[in-house]
């Protein structure tokens, strides 16, 4: 089953009461309204895209080790996925799907990392629960996401809904700002330019991880991607 089919099925279960957490109609309305506002803002169209220069960054992984984009790019093209956090079931399905194609990414010379605003402790939980074999980097305050044009602030009514669901992002992220990245996928060439990008203001929509493989094939062949 394709990743998006799994996400669509999960969304249907959630919205129709076939989920451990059953939302009220008011909560669903708040969530839907916030997504529409973000889509209508056009922010995704203004984020960094193919042909642009990827910002350099240095972040900590789940074990507290310092990881730099420059070091990663010295070993091959860099595949970056920005995601919301371990509390987001759509993100967890996305990460699991990426883990399935990780060996094929690495065979093509790529390096895969995930970036989230959550704390390192929650990144460890994310790695453990999803059985991941690639680094998750903690982006406090979504500062790196902001450099890519992905960061946005949650509206007050959505903050209240998330708290009602038990998702207090100020604690999960160890940061009071209540900001998140739009989910996004990038492939960065070794010279730091972006070869591929996919940004999703609707967090229930994600590209297929297999879409990355032809991009990496073209880079390995020396062709522009």
Please report the pLDDT score of residue 224 as a whole number.
Answer: 61
Please report the pLDDT score of residue 225 as a whole number.
Answer: 55
The whole-model pTM stands at: 0.95
Question: Tens digit of pLDDT per residue, the chain (225 long)?
Answer: 899 999 999 999 999 988 888 899 999 999 999 999 999 999 999 999 999 999 999 999 999 999 999 999 999 999 999 999 999 999 999 999 999 999 999 999 999 999 999 999 999 999 999 999 999 999 999 999 999 999 999 999 999 999 999 999 999 999 999 999 999 999 999 999 999 999 999 999 999 999 999 999 999 988 765
Query: Which superfamily is assigned to 3-220 in CATH?
Result: Glutaredoxin (3.40.30.10)
Please report the pLDDT score of residue 1 as a whole number.
Answer: 85
Domain boundaries in the chain?
3-220
DSSP string, the chain: --HHHHHHHHHHHHHTT-SSS---HHHHHHHHHHHHHHHHHTHHHHS--TTSBPPP-EEEETTS-EEEHHHHHTTS-EEEEE---TT-HHHHHHHHHHHHHHHHHHHTT-EEEEEESS-HHHHHHHHHHHT--S-EEE-GGGHHHHHTT-EEEPPHHHHHHHHHTT--HHHHTT-TT-EEEPPEEEEE-TTSBEEEEEE-SSTT----GGGHHHHHHHHHTT---
Please report the pLDDT score of residue 124 as a whole number.
Answer: 96
Please report the pLDDT score of residue 97 as a whole number.
Answer: 98
Please report the pLDDT score of residue 19 as a whole number.
Answer: 84
Please report the pLDDT score of residue 178 as a whole number.
Answer: 97
């Amino acid at each position: 089953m394709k990743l998006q089919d799994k996400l669509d099925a999960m969304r249907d279960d959630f919205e129709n009461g076939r989920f451990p957490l059953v939302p009220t109609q008011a909560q669903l309305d708040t969530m839907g309204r916030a997504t529409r506002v973000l889509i209508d803002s056009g922010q995704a169209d203004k984020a960094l895209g193919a042909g642009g220069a990827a910002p350099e960054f240095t972040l900590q992984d789940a074990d507290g080790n310092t990881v730099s984009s420059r070091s990663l790019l010295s070993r091959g093209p860099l595949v970056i996925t920005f995601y919301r956090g371990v509390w987001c079931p759509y993100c967890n399905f996305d990460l699991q799907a990426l883990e399935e194609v990780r060996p094929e990414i690495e065979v093509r010379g790529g390096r895969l990392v995930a970036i989230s605003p959550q704390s390192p402790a929650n990144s460890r939980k994310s790695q453990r629960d999803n059985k991941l074999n690639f680094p998750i980097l903690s982006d406090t305050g979504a500062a790196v996401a902001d450099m890519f044009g992905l960061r946005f602030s949650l509206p007050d009514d959505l903050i209240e809904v998330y708290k009602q669901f038990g998702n207090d992002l100020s604690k999960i992220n160890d940061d009071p700002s209540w900001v998140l990245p739009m989910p996004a996928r990038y492939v960065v060439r070794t010279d730091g330019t972006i070869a591929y990008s996919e940004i999703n203001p609707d967090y229930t929509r994600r590209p297929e991880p297999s879409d990355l493989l032809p991009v990496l094939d073209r880079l390995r062949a020396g062709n522009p991607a």
